[in-house]
Amino acid sequence: MGVEELQAIAEALVAPGKGILAADESTGTIEKRFDSIGIESTEGQRRAYRHMLFTTAGVEEYISGVIMYDETIRQSGGDGTPFAQLLAAKGIVPGIKVDKGAKALANAPGEKVTEGLDGLRERLNEYAALGAKFTKWRAVIAIGPGIPSQYCTWTNAHALARYAALSQEAGLVPIVEPEVLMDGDHDIETALRVTSRVQNAVFTELHDQRVELEGMLLKPNMVLSGYDCPEQASDEEVAERTLHCLRHNVPSAVPGIVFLSGGQSDEDATARLNVMNARGPHPWELSFSYGRALQAPSLKAWGGDPERVDAGQRAFYHRAKMNGAARSGLYAPAMETAAA
Ligand code: 13P
C-alpha cells in the first residue's frame, strides 16, 4: 500500500467533527472497569458491552474509528456479522491494539517498556485479513524522582518506531501513543518538559526508521498538572502548554493528533480539547481517541443489564456528540444538560 492510501485512512480518522473510540482494553483492564460497576468479566459480557457501544444508532456522526482488542476483533454481533464488518458497514473504520502491554524495564526501577515486537509482522497481516485498517501501540512513561530516564524514553521511542514501520508495511495506519502518565505531584512545567522530551525522541526514531509521517497519527497525553499537584492548571493553561509542546515537536506532515484521556474526567477531557480547537487553525487536526472519557457514563448507565442497553447507548451517543462539538471549538458545558 502506498503512502496516499495510508494518508486517506489517517485523514478519515480525523475527519471534521469526528474522533476515535478506544475500546481496546485488555482482558485485565476491562475486568477492572467491570469491577467498578460490580459485574463479572465473562467473554459474553465483554461481547455484550462492546456490541452495545458499536451498534449505537447515529454514533458514526461523531465516531470515525474504533480501536478493538484481539478478543473483540474475533467476536461478532447477534446475527454473526464480525464486529469489524459491522463497524465498517456503519462507515466506522475498524482498528486494533497490537502491543502486548508495558512490562518492567530491566535495570530501571519504576520504569516500563512496551513489548510485542516479536512476531508482529505476522500478527499485523492477520489483523489486516480480519478487516483492520489501523493499529495502536502504547508506550508508558512515568514521572517521579529521577524518572523518566533517557534509557526508558529512547527504548520506548525505538519500539514505537519499529512498530510504526511494520504497521505501514502491512498497509495499516499506525497510531503512535507515547503516554506520559499524569500520576504524581509534579507541576505542569515538569509535565511539559517530560512530554516534550518524549515526543522529540519519538519523532527522531520515526524519522530514522523511515516512517511516513503522512500515513500515521500521534496519540499523546495532554500536558496537565500531576493529579496530586496542589496547584491544578486551568483548561486555558492546559491548552496553552499542550499546544506549545506539539508545535515544538510534531511535524506538520502528520495529519492528526488524537489525544488519550488518561484519567481526566469526561467533561474535562472534552472542555480542554474544545479550548485547543477554538484556538485553531493548527498544522494538524486535533481530535480524540478516548477510552474512559467516552465510555465511563455509558458503562455506568448499562450496568451489565440487558434491559439498560438503551440507556448505555444514549450516554455513549451524548459523550461522542460533546466531543464531536469540541473538535471544532463549538462545545459549551451547557450542552451537557441539554437533551441528548
Ligand atoms: P484513556 O482515554 O482511558 O486514557 O484510554 C485511551 C487509550 O487508548 C489508552 O491506551
Task: Examine the pLDDT at 340 and tell me if it is beyond 60.
Answer: no
Distance of CA 30 to the CA centre of its chain: 15
> 3-class DSSP state for residue 44?
helix
For CA atoms 54, 59, 63, 65, the dihedral sign is positive
How far does the centroid of ligand 1 lie from the alpha carbon of residue 261, in Å?
A: 6
Beta-carbon contacts of 91 under 8 Å, excluding residues fewer than 6 positions away, are 60
Task: Examine the pLDDT at 205 and tell me if it is beyond 60.
Answer: yes
> Which residue among the candidates 212, 219, 240, 285 is catalytic per the annotation?
219
How far does the centroid of ligand 1 lie from the alpha carbon of residue 249, in Å?
A: 21
**Nearest alpha carbon, ligand 1 atom 8:** 22
Choose one of 261, 268, 270, 316 to mutate for the ligand 1 pocket test, by most ligand atoms within 8 angstroms of C-beta.
261
**Nearest alpha carbon, ligand 1 atom 9:** 260
- pLDDT for 1 equals 79
Beta-sheet pairing, 102-104 with 112-114: antiparallel
How far does the centroid of ligand 1 lie from the alpha carbon of residue 331, in Å?
A: 21
How far does the centroid of ligand 1 lie from the alpha carbon of residue 290, in Å?
A: 5
E strand spans, the chain: 19-22, 63-68, 93-97, 102-104, 112-114, 134-141, 173-180, 217-218, 256-259, 285-290
Q: Is residue 229 within 8 Å of residue 182, measured between CB atoms?
A: no
- C-beta 68 within 6 A of ligand 1: no
Can you state the angle between helices 292-302 and 43-54, rounded to 10 degrees? 110
pLDDT band at 78 (very low <50, low <70, confident <90, very high): confident
- pLDDT for 112 equals 98
- 112 catalytic residue (yes or no): no
- C-beta 138 within 6 A of ligand 1: yes
Give phi and psi for 126, each to the nearest 5: -65, -45
Report how far apart, in Å, the C-alpha atoms of 294 and of each of 59, 168, 171, 300, 338 are.
12, 28, 28, 12, 18
- C-beta 293 within 6 A of ligand 1: yes
> Which residue among the candidates 25, 111, 177, 179 is catalytic per the annotation?
177
- pLDDT for 339 equals 53
Overall pTM > 0.75: yes
**Mean pLDDT of the 8-37 span:** 98
**Mean pLDDT of the 204-212 span:** 98
Half-sphere exposure of 218 (CA within 13 A, CB side): 32
**Nearest alpha carbon, ligand 1 atom 4:** 262
Higher pLDDT, 76 or 338: 76
Give which of 127, 150, 151 is closest to 137, Cα–Cα: 127
Task: Examine the pLDDT at 252 and tell me if it is beyond 80.
Answer: yes
Cα–Cα dist 125/181, whole Å: 31
pLDDT band at 99 (very low <50, low <70, confident <90, very high): very high
